[in-house]
Amino acid sequence: MTDLFNKLYSQFLNGKTDLKAFRDFKESLNHLPDNELSGRMEAHWNENNDYPVMDASRKREIHRRLRKEINLLKDNQSIRWSRVAVAAAVVAVLAVSVWNFALLQKQLGAEAPFLAEVPAGNKVQLTLPDKSSVKLNSESSLSYTYMNGKRVTHLEGEAYFHVSKDKDHPFVVQVGDLNIEVLGTSFNVCSYRDCDLVETSLVEGSIRLYDSRSPAESFILKPSQKAIYSKNNRKISFHRTDNVKETAWTQNHLVFESEKLGSVFHKIERWYGVKINLLCPEILNDRISGSFKNEQLPYVMEALKIQYGFNYEITGSNITINKSNKH
């Protein structure tokens, strides 16, 4: 385990980790207690002269940021402690990488990537090397690199961006073939792997959208507008939207607006890091509107049970839903 950890950690710090290797790295962390992980990270850093010296003040700042992030994760009581431990370990690696990213770029070249991945049931607030801030929703991944004069990110899942202004270096979010280019603005992007649609909602500023296969044809999005792009037919449409609703998830507010129950169950799985086994599929197309803010999973399930009359059982991270015996 030590050799594997050192190899993957070295690749990570030297900007040679792709998303698959990062996932392997995260998996290797599952077997390490937090105190052992911290010790190995610091020892590996200090044993390699290629990395900047980590002085006492830097260590204290990293520890302060780690405690803050880990406590935020522990505040979500619906997360199992084992999941919190894994998430905290990943946050620890990310914090060290972010803190030293600027210095590493000078030594390793401008194209050293930044990688982040968030498991189901968690959310993470990140500060990118250019000082832009990003909040990643559960089951989301993000990579960031400086390339050809642009700040380029690749997103899978959902993220809320607040981009630092830099007119000489545009910020580009790439979601498949869709490119979202900005200079400085705030916007939300949602594009999960199992969904055909890429939804982009602009809060402030302006953004330009274009398909990489036809970059000459671009579209400008205005505040309180939402662009919906289909990955399959490559069509794009525009709609007025409510930014409070679009970004509600960043405030731990789970919102449904005339959504099919099947979609709601899927969001609950992602939000709480659980798996739902539905034994009464006839209710999948029923629609629901409502919201839950900072609510624990049993409360959410009880509210849905009362409205739709089903029974459910929670066993660990699994939920079984079936028909009610009442007539």
pLDDT at res. 207: 93
Tens of pLDDT along 304-321?
A: 888 888 889 999 889 999
Question: What CATH number is attached to the domain comprising 277?
Answer: 3.55.50.30
Domain count, the chain: 3
pLDDT at res. 165: 87
Question: What CATH number is attached to the domain comprising 137?
Answer: 2.60.120.1440
> Among residues 115, 140, 271, which one has the least CA distance to residue 193?
140
pLDDT at res. 126: 87
Same domain, 212 and 260: no
pLDDT at res. 278: 92
pLDDT at res. 272: 92
Q: What is the mean pLDDT of the chain?
A: 76
Report, as ranges of residue numbers, the positions in the chain whose pLDDT lies below 70: 1-6, 8-113, 324-327
pLDDT at res. 88: 37
Instruction: Give residue 261's domain range.
Output: 252-323
- For residue 74, is it within any domain? yes
* The model's pTM: 0.66
Same domain, 241 and 317: no
Contacts of 151 (CB under 8 A, 6+ apart): 128, 130, 132, 144, 166, 169, 170, 171, 172
Tens of pLDDT along 173-212?
A: 999 999 999 977 999 999 998 889 999 999 999 899 999 8
The Cα–Cα gap between 241 and 245 comes to 8
